[in-house]
Chains A and B, each alone.
Chain A
Amino acid sequence: MSALLTFTDDGIYCPEGDFYIDPWRPVDRALITHGHADHARDGMRRYLATDLAAPVMRHRLGEISLETLRYGERREIGGVTVSFHPAGHVPGSAQIRVERGGEVWVASGDYKLEDDGLSTPFEPVPCHAFITESTFGLPVFKWRPQAEIAEAMNAWWRGNAAEGRASIIGVYALGKAQRLMRMLDPSIGPILTHGAIENTNAVLRAQGIALPPTLRVTPDLVARDHPGAMVLATPSALGTHWPRRFGPAQTALASGWMGLRGVRRRRAADRGFIISDHADWAALNTAIAATGAERVFVTHGYTSIFSRWLSEQGYDAAIVQTAYEGESLDDPDPATGEEAEKAQGTQSPAAAP
């Protein structure tokens, strides 16, 4: 009998159920962990995702054949049972559990353990084999609690506002941007948003996710009408003329990569806030231990280092080549503001101009 999940050139494949998980080439049936562009690609004949991820996927991929499941709801496909469980990464993100006759595999997509107040919090799913990312799979990555980052971010905003400067933060349009909005203290000033972010806001608000009031930046917006504003932009917009319209401003990037001084300095933003929707070193180890899995497959990130570490901890660990990107500081796709430009290799927070 073949393995429950196999790794092919098209994506993670389940022979028994004849479906793929987060495939990167067009296939007949795709189960999708979450709406980020390196996991939910177009061209699949049928999609299956959580009901919470569906609106963003429809927004990004247009007219697609999409069925949905609620978290925990089971579905028989071929000879296997599948279900989706919260991954805590972005709204609607899921770990996909696949079971056949008592054997359980879990493909976790991207995940984090901290409750960000926006996404349904991560739940450990006991399994025999666990497929994990390792975007920040090095012991130098340690996140501080979200409340601490919120305090630093608001203090920075408040200081800039007091000096008559705008505050501009570069963030992912789906997930990170909305997480930050809910961390911001709206009493400091107005929150303005880049179009790519505001489009995603509209989708999330329509599905009932509460976000603070925001104002879309349009060509006719006059910056001086909004003194001391917080501006949320895509990371790529920071590198263009786009921020100039706000006059005197301080810039920041919000990413796990900001934990590395070299990356922070190369990006030449004034500030770097260390905040990620991916698990840090401790959380990766905690999550893997909580599954009780014996076998661990490491997909994207510091795969060779992290799998060696896991092997030394007694896991049966292996590296799997995929097309997933983790968290990248590369140029997002201008059409959606979400897709990171293809990272070369998987180990680098490559930088934009």
Chain B
Amino acid sequence: MLEIKNLHVKLEEEEKQILKGVDLTVEAGKVHAIMGPNGSGKSTLSYVLSGRDGYEVTEGSATLEGEDLLEMEPEERAAAGVFLAFQYPVEIPGVGNMTFLRTAVNAQRKARGEDELSAADFLKEVRAKAKSLKIDADMLKRPVNVGFSGGEKKRNEILQMAMLEPKMCILDETDSGLDVDAMKLVAEGVNALRDEGRGFLVITHYQRLLDHIKPDVVHIMADGRIVKTGGPELALEVENNGYADILAEVN
């Protein structure tokens, strides 16, 4: 599904290399987790995959089902099936959450040559999905993320993901700022979307999210590279011993 080869990325504005040769393949139906200390390049990887400005790819490639992601605009990547759940979801005053969702869903359908969802069908679907994430009607009406609590913002991200049904879901520290109950709710939302055709890349600092979203593969990222790959037990190792041991081992 997602294939990243030898990806080198630097900041556009300064000569700072952030990713120094990332190799990673996420197969359809699998959940891959990336863990790593602060500043290792995890968030940068998520931004580069979704097409945010400010980064320059100096070497390597990233493809989704063989299509070159790096050549696409952010909206084209979205239509191709990439979804990034933001670490810090953006507040957009003046744009209703519902309007935003509907515009996004229909823009993607249009880009894929599908018919737009009718207002009634859209409403039915969004209500059902919102309900399972405990998002009430008021939250749907309010401007996007404005005045939402940390937990509400993250649930809203998962709602968008559920509505857009992407092929490749990238979750950037979706657990940050969540209490245990909120984390469970978000994890349930993610797990409901797991299926054979969909890949997940879950970026997190902590093992605890992975208790709820069970990964198939765990990668440790440090200094712009994947330095170790293993099964779910690798996350437990990090939880118990921190990153120091692993980093010492690979160095």
Q: Do A and B come from one complex?
A: no
